[in-house]
């Protein structure tokens, strides 16, 4: 069962050492651990050490100094926060703390680099690792939907357009559409990972004046990132906009799926129901309520993600070679977007895995429209028998409206219509009211999906 309250995450927030704003209720420990101050500065230090080793490879600093920096460099979170109060600058405060862990070799730390070289490259590491967790989440959800799709491949239900009965389909077919969509989302997330998993060690305006391109290549290779081929002082924010909008798009898909479940859980529909645990309550006033609150939560979180996507796109446009208007927003948007989607994916996976399906209600609901779901088959049969499309449509629609208004079976009305009988006999008419006609090609779709 999905558990959404995590003590480790609450510790991160309570300590003031978590940079995001997502509440513990919507945070999962593994993702939250990527966005603590400790995790951020660990990656800063990883980049700084890699840069020192790269300088040593290029013969600019002694190899012994790089080795000592690798062995001894560290930082103190409390000291960093103390120095930030003085410097009002994260990176200089961090460097001051690191220098206190080293001797004379400390002068080589941050040699030729600018703040964004470290910050942006380290952020690439965080986003890469966050993508890996999200990809695992997507894989888990895909497996859950695939299992349910196969299990309900032949579970007959009514298809609805505009919320009105259209023609029969199967519940498995609904889920097959979700499988295909989530596979596209996985591809998008892989592409977004490639876009943001890059580093840049290119100096104050990106021209490599103080750091040669060779050093940048060595550092990125050491930390496992791609290269920003041409940049300014910062990695270009179209990359990050692609990442956040991809997360928002995945959230939109989850909202779409959750909205379908919510609609099918209505009392007068009740074809499916999200999990409702023993002892769970749906209302403080009405004990009978079994509300789709989990799916409603998914819907709300998807709205948050879309807001973050707008912010990420606005960050693309910076002044000249850089400003820091993006920085304040990214401290919130990057961790929170990752945490929100990580939580939403895992929550929805649990919903799908424990989804309650009511096939009997699905069949009963089909019958609520008096057989009108067969109207197109009757229309086509009349056309095949020689009636013009316009005349056939008018005859079928007239009988359909009477079925709606009088609640009479559509089949009986057609059988008693002289015009219909002139073109389609009783036996032939009966064969048109066959559900298997609508499910005859479901297997083809599942074969396309490899299910």
Active site residues: 162, 283
Give the 3-state secondary structure of residue 426: helix
Query: What is the spatial distance between Cα 334 and Cα 338, in angstroms, rounded to a whole number?
Result: 6
| Residue 69: Cβ-neighbour burial (10 angstroms; 0-12, 13-18, 19+) | buried
Of 302, 292, 282, 291, which Cα lies nearest the Cα of 343?
A: 302
- The H or E element that residue 219 is part of is helix 213-223
Query: How far is Cα 180 from Cα 202, in angstroms, rounded to an integer?
Result: 41
Q: Are 128 and 199 in contact (CB under 8 A)?
A: no
Which tokens hold the place of 187? Answer: 């591809």
Give 425's contacts (C-beta < 8 A, 6+ positions apart). none
CB of 47 within 8 A of CB of 211? no
Cα three-residue angle 427-429-435, rounded to 5 degrees:
110
Q: What is the CA radius of gyration of the chain?
A: 30
Tell me which residue of 318, 327, 337, 338 sits closest to 238, measured CA to CA: 318
Closest by CA to 219, choosing from 41, 54, 61, is 54
Q: What is the DSSP letter of 355?
A: -
The span from the CA of 7 to the CA of 15, in Å, is 12
198 sits in which H/E element: strand 198-199
Distance, C-alpha 232 to centroid of its chain = 30
Ramachandran sector of residue 275 (left: φ over 0; alpha: ψ -120 to 50; beta: rest): beta
Distance CA 81, CA 38 (A): 12
From CA 130, how far away is CA 20, in angstroms rounded?
A: 14
The helix (H) or strand (E) run that includes residue 161 is strand 156-161
Q: Determine how many CB atoms are found less than 10 A away from the CB of residue 421.
A: 13
Alpha-carbon distance 243 to 191, whole Å?
A: 8
CA–CA separation, 66 and 50 (whole Å): 9
């Amino acid at each position: 069962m999905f558990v959404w309250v995590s003590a480790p995450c609450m510790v991160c927030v309570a300590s003031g050492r978590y940079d995001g704003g997502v509440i513990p209720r919507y945070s999962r420990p593994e993702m939250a651990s990527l966005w603590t101050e400790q995790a951020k500065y660990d990656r800063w230090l990883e980049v700084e050490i890699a840069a020192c080793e790269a300088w040593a490879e290029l013969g600019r600093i002694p190899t012994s100094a790089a080795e000592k920096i690798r062995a001894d460099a560290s930082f103190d979170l409390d000291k960093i926060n103390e120095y930030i109060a003085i410097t009002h600058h994260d990176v200089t405060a961090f460097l001051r703390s690191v220098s206190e862990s080293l001797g004379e070799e400390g002068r080589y730390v941050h040699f030729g680099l600018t703040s964004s070289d470290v910050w942006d490259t380290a952020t690439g590491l965080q986003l890469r690792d966050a993508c890996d967790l999200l990809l695992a989440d997507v894989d888990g959800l895909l497996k859950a939907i695939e299992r349910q799709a196969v299990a309900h491949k032949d579970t007959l239900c009514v298809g609805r357009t505009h919320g009105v009965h259209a023609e029969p389909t199967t519940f498995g077919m609904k889920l097959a559409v979700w499988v295909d969509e989530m596979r596209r989302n996985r591809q998008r997330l892989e592409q977004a990972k490639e876009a943001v998993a890059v580093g840049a060690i290119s100096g104050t305006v990106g021209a490599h004046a103080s750091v040669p391109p060779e050093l940048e290549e060595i550092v990125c290779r050491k930390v496992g990132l791609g290269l920003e081929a041409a940049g300014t002082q910062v990695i270009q924010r179209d990359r990050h906009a692609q990442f956040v909008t991809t997360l928002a798009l995945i959230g939109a898909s989850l909202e779409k799926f959750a909205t379908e479940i919510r609609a099918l859980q209505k009392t007068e529909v009740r074809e499916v129901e999200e999990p409702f645990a023993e002892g769970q309550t749906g209302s403080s006033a009405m004990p009978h309520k079994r509300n789709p609150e989990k799916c409603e939560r998914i819907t709300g979180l998807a709205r948050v993600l879309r807001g973050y996507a707008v912010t990420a796109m606005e960050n693309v446009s910076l002044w000249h070679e850089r400003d820091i208007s993006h920085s304040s927003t990214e401290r919130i948007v990057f961790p929170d977007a990752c945490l929100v989607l990580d939580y939403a994916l895992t929550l929805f996976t649990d919903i799908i895995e424990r989804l309650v399906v009511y096939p009997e209600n699905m069949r009963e609901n089909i019958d609520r429209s008096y057989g009108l779901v067969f109207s197109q088959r009757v229309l086509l049969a009349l056309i095949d028998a020689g009636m013009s499309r316009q005349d056939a449509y008018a005859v079928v629609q007239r009988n359909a409206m009477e079925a709606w208004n009088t609640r009479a079976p559509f089949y009986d009305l057609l059988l008693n219509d002289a015009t219909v009988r002139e073109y389609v006999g009783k036996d032939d008419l009966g064969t048109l009211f066959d559900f298997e006609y609508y499910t005859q090609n479901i297997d083809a779709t599942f074969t396309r999906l490899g299910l």
